[in-house]
Homo-oligomer: A and B are copies of this chain.
Amino acid sequence: MVKHMDVPEETMQRMLAYLRELDCMWNGGKEKFSSQSLASALHMNPAQIRKDFSYFGEFGTRGVGYDTKQLITELRAILNLDRTWRLALIGVGNIGSALLRNPELKRQGFQIVLAFDKDPRRIGKKIGPLTVEDVATVRKRIREEKVRLAIIATPVECAQETADNLVRAGIKGLLCFAPCHLSIPEGIRIVSVDIPMALGKLVYHMEV
């Protein structure tokens, strides 16, 4: 198998989309599929899918297609999703609490094991299996628990300072819900979930 570093970023992102669609197919009882059926579900070109798969070797059987469950297993391994990733959550407001209560994350292999806030009314509160801790202890606790991923769900004013702290604590990947651009050192990955921006994408072509 090739090293992931040699595979284009766009291919890796599409592999995630294939996995999501195959999960849906499997839940819908589809045990076999063709690159054509996957392509038409995703409004893509089947040649693109075969090309993406070809980075990782041979999966299907000519004329027979692919085994859904087997390919899900292989894609999860390729995408490092064949394990549980432990995360820290910073900010237990509306979105943060929703994430803590979301069973889907754990089912997909992401488990929040630390939750922090700076509001004294939230610190010490139990949400699901976790107790909210004081954000002042974030660096110590992340090091103790050897957590490498964190979710920033703070107000936008605190997002950059939170990110700086997390980087100093040794975090390697950040998911950020704050609607702003953060400065992050090279080698740290950041992915943004910006809900107002997503809504913005809905309306710029809308007739007004």
A interface list, Cβ under 8 A from B: 4-5, 12-13, 15-17, 19-21, 23-24, 41-42, 78-81, 83, 85, 87, 94-95, 97-99, 101-102, 104-105, 108, 110, 148-149, 156, 172-175, 179-181, 189, 191-206, 208
Contacts and interface: CB of A to CB of B under 8 A. Distances in A.
Q: Report how many copies the assembly holds.
A: 2
B80 A196 contact: no
B205 A4 contact: yes
B94 A204 contact: no
16 contacts: A5-B205, A15-B204, A16-B197, A16-B201, A79-B204, A81-B200, A95-B102, A98-B98, A104-B179, A104-B196, A105-B195, A105-B196, A108-B196, A108-B200, A149-B203, A175-B202
Nearest to A100: B94
A10 B160 CA distance: 26
